[in-house]
């Protein structure tokens, strides 16, 4: 079945400006015309179409809140959230590529990069260079700062040695923000962020993971074998990488919430169409009260998650504290997406269990929401700490 559906307009759209609505509509048209026809093929091939990535750059979606002087769109963080949501309705794999580029890589460079780094990398990050964010390791997942990757100073350079895992965009990227420790005895206070170019000697993109969902999005390991990185490529201050990581991920979680909202909305859109076409016992499935009530429950849950996500994004753009709102948005939206996409499979009956209909893929894609950029338990811990401090 095609991934093209008529969008069920959410109530929260009333909070958008005319400019935001126009931008959202343009992204929706692109997703429907260019991404939808290749969603299934990319999922089966476990690969992103290069021409799609080029189009994302051409549309300005890879540098949404980067200043125009560097080639970016010059929009705000909230606009990036809208883009992630819209793309996720059709393919969360494409959405997460855009998400990582904007809310992690570009965001970190905006906040922590110096003028020389911005002038060197932003013109390419907004035109043809995909970025990736390399924090996790084999023994460092939720314990994000238990890093084994080492950085030793050698003259004016740093030499990085170690391995990174679960790197989104790892296959497509040309620049990586790599976190390493410069002094293991100093713990998290020695973690430092480095801008590492793919062509660096000793740098290898390793195994590509074979995943349950978001299969077109590459997730790879990175191997750093005495990779020499100039001091000019330290992002932020030496020993302050933990701040880069924490504060960037706090914003990235809002985008994951948006991804899950878009995914759930996409699944509901497909289901609304299906229940109005599928007939049982002489009438459409959508005429049964039990089905109608389930649709109403799903729409309400999606709207609640959307409002949590939008609120966190607005707080971020206004300079207010958004730590707890971002954790709540990701927690609720990721749980909601699994529940909604699962129910949508149920409402499709036997067809929902096949790859003929898009809801099967969206159900698989939903699982990652409770895992990456902070698991459900980590979000609960963050919220509980705030309540009890």
Residues serving a catalytic function are 373
Token pair 């990069």 is at which residue?
A: 113
Closest CA to 73 of 133, 125, 132: 125
Distance, in Å, from the CA atom of 166 to the CA atom of 16, rounded to the nearest integer, reads 34
| Cα-based angle 112, 86, 107 (whole degrees, multiple of 5) | 0
Distance, in Å, from the CA atom of 303 to the CA atom of 49, rounded to the nearest integer, reads 32
Instruction: Please report, for residues 81, 82, 259, 335, 365, the alpha-carbon distance to residue 306 in angstroms, rounded to integers and kept in the order given.
Output: 10, 10, 10, 13, 18
The answer to whether residues 195 and 235 touch, using CB atoms and an 8 Å cutoff, is: yes
> Strands 131-134, 175-181: parallel, antiparallel or unpaired by DSSP?
parallel
At residue 223, φ and ψ (nearest 5 deg) are: -115, 125
Distance, in Å, from the CA atom of 58 to the CA atom of 56, rounded to the nearest integer, reads 6
| Cα-based angle 315, 133, 154 (whole degrees, multiple of 5) | 125
The answer to whether residues 125 and 62 touch, using CB atoms and an 8 Å cutoff, is: yes
DSSP for 256-292? HHHHHHHHHHHHHHHHHHHHHH-EETTEEGGGSHHHH
Q: What kind and span of H or E run contains 163? A: strand 157-168
Per the DSSP assignment, residues forming a β-bridge with 163 are 223
DSSP-H helix ranges across 6-91:
18-30, 39-45, 50-58, 77-90
């Amino acid at each position: 079945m095609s991934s093209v559906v008529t969008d069920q307009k959410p109530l929260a759209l009333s909070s958008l400006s005319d400019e935001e609505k126009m931008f959202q509509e343009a992204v929706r048209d692109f997703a429907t015309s260019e991404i939808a026809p290749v969603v299934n093929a990319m999922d089966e091939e476990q690969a992103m179409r290069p021409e799609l990535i080029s189009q994302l750059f051409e549309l300005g979606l890879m540098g949404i809140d980067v200043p125009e002087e560097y080639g970016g769109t010059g929009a705000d963080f909230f606009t990036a959230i809208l883009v992630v949501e819209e793309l996720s309705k059709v393919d969360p794999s494409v959405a997460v590529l855009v998400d990582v580029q904007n809310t992690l890589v570009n965001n970190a460079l905006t906040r922590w990069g110096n003028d020389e780094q911005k002038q060197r990398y932003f013109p390419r990050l907004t035109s043809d260079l995909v970025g990736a964010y390399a924090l996790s390791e084999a023994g460092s997942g939720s314990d994000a700062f238990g890093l084994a990757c080492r950085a030793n100073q050698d003259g004016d350079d740093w030499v990085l040695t170690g391995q990174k895992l679960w790197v989104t965009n790892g296959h497509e990227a040309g620049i990586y923000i790599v976190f390493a420790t410069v002094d293991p005895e100093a713990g998290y206070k020695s973690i430092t962020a480095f801008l590492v170019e793919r062509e660096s000697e000793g740098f290898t993109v390793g195994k590509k993971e074979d995943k349950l969902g978001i299969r077109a999005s590459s997730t790879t390991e990175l191997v750093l074998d005495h990779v020499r990185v100039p001091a000019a490529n330290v992002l932020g201050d030496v020993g302050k990488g933990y701040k880069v990581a924490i504060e960037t991920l706090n914003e990235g979680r809002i985008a994951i919430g948006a991804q899950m909202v878009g995914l759930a909305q996409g699944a509901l859109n497909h289901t609304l169409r299906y229940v109005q076409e599928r007939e049982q016992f002489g009438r459409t499935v959508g005429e049964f009260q039990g089905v109608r009530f389930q649709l109403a429950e799903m729409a309400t849950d999606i709207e609640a998650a959307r409002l949590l996500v939008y609120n966190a994004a607005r707080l971020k753009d206004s300079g207010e504290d958004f730590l707890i709102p971002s954790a709540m948005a990701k927690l609720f939206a990721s749980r909601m997406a699994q529940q909604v996409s699962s129910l949508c499979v149920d409402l499709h009956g036997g067809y929902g269990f096949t790859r003929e209909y898009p809801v099967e893929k969206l159900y698989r894609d939903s699982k990652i929401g409770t895992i990456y950029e902070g698991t459900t338990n980590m979000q609960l811990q963050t919220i509980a700490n705030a309540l009890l401090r």
